[in-house]
Amino acid sequence: MEGLPETFSIAFSRPGSGTFRLSASQVLPVSREEAFSFFEDPRNLFEITPDWLAFRMLDRSKAEVFEGAEFDYTIGWLTFRFFWRSRIVDYRPPEEFTDVQIKGPYPYWSHLHTFEEQDGSTLIKDEVTYRLPFGPFGILLHSLIIRRQLTDIFRYRAVRIAQWAEGDWKRKG
């Protein structure tokens, strides 16, 4: 995978006991409407997710996004396979939307996507707030494995998104 875009940043914080927050941002040389349109299409998730996560959308024909829309996926982690259902909430094109996990491996997962116009480009921001299962063991797993894997996922995603925005996009599948 090529180098990270210069405008990409990622940080982690702990807003509460057992709760984590990933904040990432990147500037794209496209309009806010183009960026929003790309991100709201759940079929593009496959294209910006690393292969090792074995991400699959269960019904790829289901792509209409609206407040309350739900999408089903599977992901792989280590030797486990997990079902994941997300729901779109706070859908406000072209400014923001949130996808929340309603079934899946996390007790809580909320991913806010925001899009801000910036001198002919678009600043995209991701804020993912999540809790892990297994209490103190989950917190240990976060420090040993999960934080690094989420970093790798969002770095991969940043490179793929930059390729799309710069017109150097080759679909994976």
Q: What is the pLDDT of residues 54-100, one digit of tens each?
A: 999 998 778 889 999 999 999 998 788 999 999 999 999 999 999 99
Phi, psi of 93 (to 5 degrees): -65, 145
* Domain layout of the chain by residue ranges: 9-165
Q: Which pair of tokens denotes residue 53?
A: 């996560």
Residue 171 has pLDDT above 80, yes or no: no
pTM reported for the whole predicted model: 0.93
Find, among 91, 93, 92, the residue nearest to 70 by Cα: 91
pLDDT in tens, 137-148: 888 888 899 999
Residue 167 neighbours by CB under 8 Å, 6+ apart: none
Cβ neighbours of 173 (radius 10 Å): 5
CATH 3.40.50.300 is the classification of domain 9-165: no
CA distance 140 to 125: 27
Omega of the bond leading into 94 within 30 degrees of 0 (cis): yes
